[in-house]
Amino acid sequence: MADHSSHPLDTLPFDAVATAGHYGVAGTLGVTARRIDGLSIATLAARKGDDDALAEAVRGALGLELPRASRAVFAGARTLIGTAPGRWLALSGLDRDIAGTLRAALGPLAAITDQSDAVVTLDLTGPKVADTLAKGALIDLDPRVFLPGMAATTVLAHIGITLWRREEATWRLLVARSFEAALLRFLVSSAAEYGFELDDRG
Amino acid sequence: MSRLAKGGLIDRARSLAFTFDGRSYGGHAGDTLASALLANDVRLVGRSFKYHRPRGIVSAGAEEPNALVELRAGARREPNTRATVAELFDGLEAQSQNRWPSLDLDLLSVNQLLSPFLGAGFYYKTFMWPAAFWEKVYEPIIRRAAGLGRMAEAADPDPYEKASTFCDVLVIGAGPAGLMAALAAGRAGARVILADEDFLAGGRLNAETREIDGKPAAEWAARVTAELASLPNVRLMTRTTVFGVYDSGTYGALERVADHLPVPPPFQPRQRLWRIHARRAVLAAGATERPIVFGGNDRPGVMLAGAVRTYVNRFAVAPGHRVAVFANNDDAWRGALEIKAAGIEVAAIVDVRKAVAASLVQQAKAKGIRTLLDGRVTATHGKRLTAVDIVADGRTERLAVDTLAVSGGWSPNVHLTCHHGGKPAWDEAIAAFVPGIVPPLLAVAGAASGAFSLGAALTDGAAQGAEAAEALGFPVPLPDVPAVAEESVAITPFWHVADSRGPAFVDLQNDVTAKDITIAYKEGFRSVEHLKRYTTLGMATDQGRTSNVTGLAIMASLTGASIPETGTTIFRPPYTPVSLGALGGHHRGKDFRAVRLTPTHEWAKARGAVFIETGAWLRAQYFPRPGETDWLESVNREVKAVRASVGLIDVSTFGKIDLQGPDVGTLLDRLYINTFSTLAIGKARYGVMLREDGLVMDDGTTARLGAEHYVMTTTTANAAKVYQHLEFCLQVLWPQLDVSIASVSEQWAQIALAGPRARDVLARVVDAGVDVSNDGLPFMGAIEGTVLGGVKARLFRLSFSGELGFEIAVPARHGAALAQALMSAGEAFGITPYGIEALGVMRIEKGHVSGNELSGQTTARDLGFGRMASTKKDYIGRVMAGRPGLVDPQRPTFVGFKPVDPSQRLRAGAHFLKIGAAASLENDEGYMTSVAHSPHLGHWIGLGLLQRGPERIGERVRAYDPVRGGDIEVEICAPGFIDPEGERLRG
């Protein structure tokens, strides 16, 4: 009888961001996490006034329909996610400064705040993403229920995240920069039984 | 060996070796530890809790009161495991517990001789006096003598997990009712979870030799289980106990992922705690058999009749070779016939009833079984059972048997139905408690609802499963209910053979006898709640599964009240024990709470920083240099370096809130005690905000970056609380204000640069055109610009240390680069990175308040901010801050302290007393909140709250610290120890 279970967290320093590599069960890949760099990110809050005018202006600026619920909408490299009533997150791999773009286009209709450095973006792919996230989230992430385009601003292992399903097999989440190491520890620990791979910044 | 030659749901081709108390035995896959022990003729498995009486296996399930063992060894040792539910695996090590020196010879069984003194309430009676003896003498003795297993003495090496799942219909229990319910809802397309604590679905179908659709019932169960497993919308969770019903359709469940293996497979948890969210649930938890109480009923060999039947049918084990049955119901007769059919001698069926259905009597007689009606078992014999005394027809007879199968009827497993506070209801027809008011959206089916016959369980299960699915909009074709023969379930309540010899145990695990209940009755502890606590009935780890109903029935017979009048105690979660490891899951050790790292964490680590947890953050505490031997030495060096030249510290952990809109000035005026609407663009102001109750909530600076754009900083500790406060103000109090807020705490890395050479260093990192001169960036100035060649930055002229100070904010990804650039730029000045210890020393030297003073118990006036509070506007907390208790001039108020003898060390937490006054609460004048050793002054200094403090500057008081033995004289002084005029700040 072995003295102790091998656990990937045993060798992972608790105060460092996990390095790229394979964790957990060898030879299988249940979940792959890839850090996505280079996105320009901003929060958008509707000011007092005309919601329809805001929607119209956003349509004009980004070519996207402002989601009125916890949904993600995409067009090209731009994404808009509803995070709360009257609040959205805008992400772009196209604009160098999405906050600036929006500020110029929306004027007094919305308050725009640059958050490009506030969050770390992770893409999660693989057959076991939902099972892994279920170990820390308290919402229904069953792939039959949480369909592509759905989004949630919620907690994962007591860490605030915004999560959405981009495609059938790709989930994306944003986590505050200071929590990146802790969140990766949760992912390493929870996906280890399925085989977990952390990719270099992409 | 007592393994039957054929039958059973075990895999005879797979042999498993295990040990019990060091001896080696063999079993088969499909065995429990209990069935394997019985197969090896091990009948003595434990010693009782109080009297150390020899005990054997009583049941075949979760209700087991006796067969508690330690499983595994070393760090994995788990005490109090029920052998009846422990799945056998190859290499399993088990030990009996609560015996010394051995199970067979337990010297503490002398406790039996003391039993007259150890009865109900003995703790209260015997160990009352003298009180001082309790902790030192009585408790250690009791703990050694009366106990359960030993804990592991090392940390559990296995991981545990928590997870959430959602379903339309949760079915609890995979017996006949549960299987039908899951089948009905599953075939309709609902998302179904079927959970069962056993490793084999089927429930009682595996323990009896019934037929369903003309086939053995266990085969039917296997076929249905296979169909359910094949449905993509059905999740079958065996080895999973649903242990609690919580709000809004939330259920707690424990999955024993790897308890049936020597060690968990690589990267698998041992157990997983599930939070199941179900739109509907069907409880099909079955029923638990209860015993009849009589003298000597705890002798190894006395078992529940249903358990004997389970061992015979499911495990192909003969618990004995000559069995008598003692019962009050028809079901036990069928059990006797099954035991006989397996080739085991059944000496007699003793039934307390005067009349039993003729067909049953005929069947028994046809098999050559003696039937004794209106009979009682009055005594038992042997260390392991050798004989029982029976009274029937007025004749006493001694019957040589090695096993007595007892049945007092069945109690529906109503536990989960009571978790919202509902009480079960008494059903006289079946002599059992059935579900009363059940939690919403939970239906009960089968034996759990009192439908004891197999046909009723199948029909009821199908109906409840279909109803649950239909209510959720799934079109349900009701599954055909398979054909079964109808059976009789007649019962006559019978609890206790009063005229019997020897101690008659009601609660086997806690050694509570029928006599103890009589004592409780005589001494006035008659309500079931008193009965429970006075006698400890039902308070063991089995929670009285097999004893509660019998115990209260005996009490009812003493008081003359009916059973429903007597009532039950409250059923609370968990249904069966849940390990703390599972409740913790991933969050243990350093993962107890998510750690937050600053943008410069790796940079600080590379410089040898020692880190400290401040809330969730890990911050650099100090940066020791080679040769420095203690923290104070490093901190003194850091402080001196800042005051002499320049230093830097990461202050990114402060909360930062972005505010935009035309009404920000109005909002700030209402939040802070001082005025902000007059703040000029490009300037920052220090502010204090109160809670609604008038006490200080937080402090910090807010800067105005543009006409409608402000950024607020909060303390690290209150970042989330202040943000939440602002949300509340904007959403609830003043939704009409046109203000948008966003947390930018994570967006900006912020580094404080302090010291007389701070400007020289800053000038070298800002880009051309950014003016950081005293004119370009005066004290309390706030400007936007770029640094490091094009990196967006916000520059603030602020100081916490009392020195010329700046805070530079850059997007977080550039934080470490900024720190490094400042280090390079400051090299010529001997720039020194410092940690929060030095920061603390400098703020105490400067006399600034911080977390220790913002304690949630201080007013603005207490902290010396009385004159800062505007009288020209309203703000949150203003009215409540005017309460008499908060404006009492006697309130301790913020001042500084220094030791009269400069060599003395000050201690935070010391209380102030007038010189010569006795150290009593009445003489208490306040306390020291913060202390530091000031390298600037060369002695300890302190800040604190003292009655009328500011009026008493120059006076001396006593700083009394009984906790650490401190008692010294200190002089009251103004809180600013250095540069009270603030010349350095403005330089």
pLDDT tier at A2, thresholds 50, 70, 90: very low
Whether residues A106 and A127 fall in one domain: no
Q: Tens digit of pLDDT for each residue in A150-191?
A: 999 999 999 999 999 999 999 999 999 999 999 999 999 999
Whether residues B253 and B167 fall in one domain: yes
The answer for B 844-863 residues in CB contact with A (under 8 A) is none
Q: Tens digit of pLDDT for each residue in B95-142?
A: 998 776 677 777 767 677 667 666 776 666 655 556 666 666 666 666
- Single-letter amino acid code for the residue at B62: A
Q: Is the pLDDT of residue B149 over 90?
A: no
The string over B288-316, giving b where at least 16 C-beta atoms fall within 10 Å of a residue's C-beta and e elsewhere, is bbbbbbbbbbbbbbbbbbbbbbbbbbbbb
- Out of A1, A117, A142, the one facing B747 most closely (by C-beta) is A117
Q: Is the pLDDT of residue B836 over 70?
A: yes
Name the domain boundary from B77, B111, B126.
B126
Whether residues A124 and A195 fall in one domain: yes
Q: Residues B893, B867: contact at Cβ < 8 Å?
A: no
Is the residue at A2 inside a domain? no
Whether residues B699 and B634 fall in one domain: no
Q: Is the pLDDT of residue B92 over 80?
A: yes
**Mutation to test the B interface, candidates A3, A4, A5, most B Cβ within 10 Å:** A5
Q: Is the pLDDT of residue B265 over 70?
A: yes
Is the residue at A65 inside a domain? yes
Whether residues B756 and B637 fall in one domain: yes
Q: Tens digit of pLDDT for each residue in B591-610?
A: 999 999 999 999 999 999 99
Residue A49: the pLDDT is 75
- Out of B591, B738, B746, the one facing A178 most closely (by C-beta) is B746
Q: Residue B297 has which token pair?
A: 């009923």
Q: Is B724 on the interface with A (CB under 8 A)?
A: no
Tell me what ipTM this predicted complex has.
Answer: 0.96
Neighbours of B962 (CB within 10 A): 10
Exposed (0-12), middle (13-18) or buried (19+): which is B135, by Cβ within 10 Å?
A: exposed
CB < 8 Å to A114, chain B? 747, 811
Q: Which residues pair with B944 in a beta bridge?
A: B895, B928
CATH of the domain at B443: 3.50.50.60
Name the domain boundary from A50, A82, A114.
A114
Q: Tens digit of pLDDT for each residue in B170-194?
A: 999 999 999 999 999 999 999 999 9
Which residue in B957, B954, B944 sits closest to B893, CA to CA? B944
Q: Tens digit of pLDDT for each residue in B503-538?
A: 999 999 999 999 999 999 999 999 999 999 999 999
Residue A1: the pLDDT is 38
Is the residue at B434 inside a domain? yes
B606 phi/psi in degrees, rounded to 5: -65, -25
Name the domain boundary from A114, A138, A161.
A114
Exposed (0-12), middle (13-18) or buried (19+): which is B917, by Cβ within 10 Å?
A: middle
Whether residues B690 and B824 fall in one domain: no
Comparing A50-54, B417-421, B944-948, which segment has the lowest mean pLDDT?
A: A50-54
Contact B586 A190 (CB under 8 A): yes
Whether residues B378 and B249 fall in one domain: no
Whether residues B937 and B962 fall in one domain: yes
CB < 8 Å to B162, chain A? 135-136
CB < 8 Å to B163, chain A? 134-135
Residue B139: the pLDDT is 65
Whether residues B55 and B200 fall in one domain: no
Is the residue at A8 inside a domain? no
Whether residues A89 and A158 fall in one domain: no
CA distance A73 to chain B (A): 22
Q: Residues B102, B21: contact at Cβ < 8 Å?
A: yes
Contact A189 B591 (CB under 8 A): yes
Whether residues A94 and A124 fall in one domain: no
Contact B263 A135 (CB under 8 A): no
B667 phi/psi in degrees, rounded to 5: -60, -45
Q: Residues B692, B876: contact at Cβ < 8 Å?
A: yes
Whether residues A75 and A137 fall in one domain: no
The answer for B 251-270 residues in CB contact with A (under 8 A) is 262-264, 266-269
How far apart (Å, rounded) are the C-alpha atoms in residues B810 and B818?
8
Cα-Cα-Cα-Cα torsion B507, B508, B511, B516, nearest 10 degrees, comes to 30
Q: Is the pLDDT of residue B48 over 90?
A: no
Q: In chain B, which residue's Cα lies nearest the Cα of A194?
A: B267
Q: Tens digit of pLDDT for each residue in A121-155?
A: 999 999 999 999 999 999 999 999 999 999 999 99
Q: Is B166 on the interface with A (CB under 8 A)?
A: yes
Instruction: Count contacts between A and B (CB, < 8 Å).
Output: 143
Is the residue at B722 inside a domain? yes
CA distance B873 to chain A (A): 25
Contact A111 B740 (CB under 8 A): yes
Distances (CA, A) of B400 to B347, B387, B389: 8, 4, 9
Q: Tens digit of pLDDT for each residue in B67-84?
A: 999 999 999 999 999 999
What number is the average pLDDT over the span B846-854? 95
Which residue in B956, B887, B888 sits closest to B694, CA to CA? B887
Whether residues A126 and A165 fall in one domain: yes
3-state secondary structure B380-420: EECCCCCEEEEEECCEEEEEECCEEEEECCEEECCHHHHCC
Neighbours of B617 (CB within 10 A): 20
Q: Is B189 on the interface with A (CB under 8 A)?
A: no
- Single-letter amino acid code for the residue at B924: D
CA distance A60 to chain B (A): 23
Whether residues A110 and A45 fall in one domain: yes
Is the residue at B867 inside a domain? no
Alpha-helix residue ranges (DSSP H) falling in B729-792: 758-765
Q: Which residues pair with B384 in a beta bridge?
A: none
Is the residue at A26 inside a domain? yes
How far apart (Å, rounded) are the C-alpha atoms in residues B587 and A134?
15
CB < 8 Å to B611, chain A? 15
What number is the average pLDDT over the span B61-67? 95
Q: In chain B, which residue's Cα lies nearest the Cα of A182?
A: B594
What number is the average pLDDT over the span B666-680? 98
Whether residues B752 and B644 fall in one domain: yes
Task: Give the residue numbers spanning the domain of B452.
Answer: 160-287+412-471
pLDDT tier at A9, thresholds 50, 70, 90: confident
- Out of B162, B598, B611, the one facing A135 most closely (by C-beta) is B162
Is the residue at B141 inside a domain? no
Residue A3: the pLDDT is 44
Residue percentage of chain B with pLDDT more than 70: 96
Q: Residues B72, B318: contact at Cβ < 8 Å?
A: no
Cis bond before residue B440 (omega within 30° of 0): no
How far apart (Å, rounded) are the C-alpha atoms in residues B36 and B85?
12
CB < 8 Å to A17, chain B? 597
CB < 8 Å to A156, chain B? none
Whether residues A125 and A191 fall in one domain: yes
CATH of the domain at A45: 3.30.70.1520
Contact A113 B660 (CB under 8 A): yes
CA distance A121 to chain B (A): 13
Whether residues A21 and A83 fall in one domain: no
Is the residue at B876 inside a domain? no
Whether residues B438 and B562 fall in one domain: no
Contact B164 A134 (CB under 8 A): yes
Number of domains in chain B: 7
Is the residue at B827 inside a domain? yes
Name the domain boundary from A114, A141, A166.
A114
Is the residue at A5 inside a domain? no
Distances (CA, A) of B458 to B469, B680, B978: 17, 79, 85
Whether residues B164 and B277 fall in one domain: yes
Alpha-helix residue ranges (DSSP H) falling in A8-154: 51-62, 98-106, 129-133
How far apart (Å, rounded) are the C-alpha atoms in residues B545 and B508?
10
**Mutation to test the B interface, candidates A15, A120, A158, A201, most B Cβ within 10 Å:** A15
Is the residue at A7 inside a domain? no
Contact B267 A192 (CB under 8 A): yes
Task: Give the residue numbers spanning the domain of A188.
Answer: 17-36+118-199
Whether residues B376 and B445 fall in one domain: no
Neighbours of B388 (CB within 10 A): 29
Q: What one-character DSSP code corresponds to residue B32?
A: B
Is the residue at B513 inside a domain? yes
CA distance B596 to chain A (A): 5
- Out of A4, A24, A113, the one facing B157 most closely (by C-beta) is A4
Residue B126: the pLDDT is 59
Whether residues A25 and A122 fall in one domain: yes
Whether residues B121 and B17 fall in one domain: yes
Neighbours of B666 (CB within 10 A): 17
Q: What one-character DSSP code corresponds to residue A137?
A: B
How far apart (Å, rounded) are the C-alpha atoms in residues B196 and B975?
67
- Out of B163, B267, B597, the one facing A178 most closely (by C-beta) is B597
Question: Pick the residue with more confidence: B301 or A8?
Answer: B301
Give the 3-state secondary structure percentages of chain A, helix then strand then coil, rounded to 5. Answer: 25, 35, 40
Distances (CA, A) of B810 to A101, B607, B745, B750: 20, 21, 11, 7
- Out of B165, B591, B746, the one facing A118 most closely (by C-beta) is B746
pLDDT tier at B150, thresholds 50, 70, 90: confident
Q: Residues B875, B673: contact at Cβ < 8 Å?
A: yes
Q: Is the pLDDT of residue A103 over 60?
A: yes
Q: Is B744 on the interface with A (CB under 8 A)?
A: yes
Q: Please list, in sequence order, all residues whose beta carbon lies within 8 angstroms of the beta carbon of residue B548, skipping any fewer than 6 positions away.
A: B537, B538, B568, B569
CA distance A115 to chain B (A): 6
Q: What is the mean pLDDT of chain B?
A: 94
CA distance A177 to chain B (A): 6
CA distance B595 to chain A (A): 6
B719 phi/psi in degrees, rounded to 5: -55, -50
How far apart (Å, rounded) are the C-alpha atoms in residues A172 and A151?
9
Contact B268 A45 (CB under 8 A): no
CATH of the domain at A122: 3.30.1360.120
Contact A142 B166 (CB under 8 A): yes
Contact B267 A111 (CB under 8 A): no
Which residue in B952, B948, B912 sits closest to B928, CA to CA? B912
Number of domains in chain A: 2
CB < 8 Å to B165, chain A? 134, 142
Alpha-helix residue ranges (DSSP H) falling in B501-652: 514-522, 528-535, 548-559, 563-566, 580-584, 601-606, 631-644
Q: Is B731 on the interface with A (CB under 8 A)?
A: no
Q: Is B599 on the interface with A (CB under 8 A)?
A: yes
Q: Residues B405, B291: contact at Cβ < 8 Å?
A: no
